[in-house]
Structure 1
């Protein structure tokens, strides 16, 4: 039998409950780990010498930049990897994919110039 789909708020609530449970079980070691990571972050980027407003501005710009990079990678990387894989296959085998045409590889609907269509075009000129 199929399970019901899980919504995103349910996943976040479950993750929060698990986090709070882990925090209740191991408060000192988990908190020390987070404090150490925060300290390393502030020392690495020299944030310890900034005012709270400057820290907020720096962290906001960093968060926006990393968010944009993550979104771009999620949107464009799979298609780019597909194109690179098709080109690598073409360069290695010297032939188009068995199940596709050049238009499928490039993602266009342009007609493919075959030797007969080239001869027809050259003959009509």
Structure 2
């Protein structure tokens, strides 16, 4: 690395989108904060030791993992919270839900996050016409 490259002041674009991490923080306060976070991230997880294509591969894997986690929470967490609420009411108040509501709860899992439940109703409406 040349002396000029080492002394170069990076821009905010270099910090946010560059594959090579600049050695100095930029003058912009927001970009300097992002530079400090990026230095922490790259040194903690040894990303600074990787080739650029390896960094991209790790970033894709992490974003895919986080995306699937958020999607799963969006689809199934509300249903699970209602189940936990029912169990808490049973333990706190002593109300037994009974067999019929247990069947209703287990049948609701078939439609939780499933698009085909309302699509089947549309198909049945068209069959009647």
Normalised-by-shorter TM-score class: 0.5 to 0.7
Offset at 1:75? 1.0
Structure 2 residue runs of 5 or longer lacking an equivalent are 1-26, 109-129
Counterpart position of 1:8: none
Counterpart position of 1:19: none
CA distance in 1, matches of 2:28, 2:92: 56
Q: Deviations over 1:13-53 (max 9, x none)?
A: xxxxxxxxxxxxxx611110011111111111100000000
Q: SS in structure 2 opposite 1:91?
A: helix
* 4+ long deviations beyond 4 Å: none
Offset at 1:96? 4.8
Counterpart position of 2:65: 65
Structure 1 residue runs of 5 or longer lacking an equivalent are 1-26, 110-125
State the superposition RMSD in angstroms. 2.3
Counterpart position of 1:13: none
CA distance in 1, matches of 2:31, 2:55: 21
Offset at 1:105? 6.6
* TM-score normalised by structure 1 residue count: 0.56
Counterpart position of 1:106: 105
CA distance in 1, matches of 2:94, 2:104: 14
- Equivalences, count: 80
Q: Deviations over 1:39-86 (max 9, x none)?
A: 111111100000000111111101100110011111111110110111
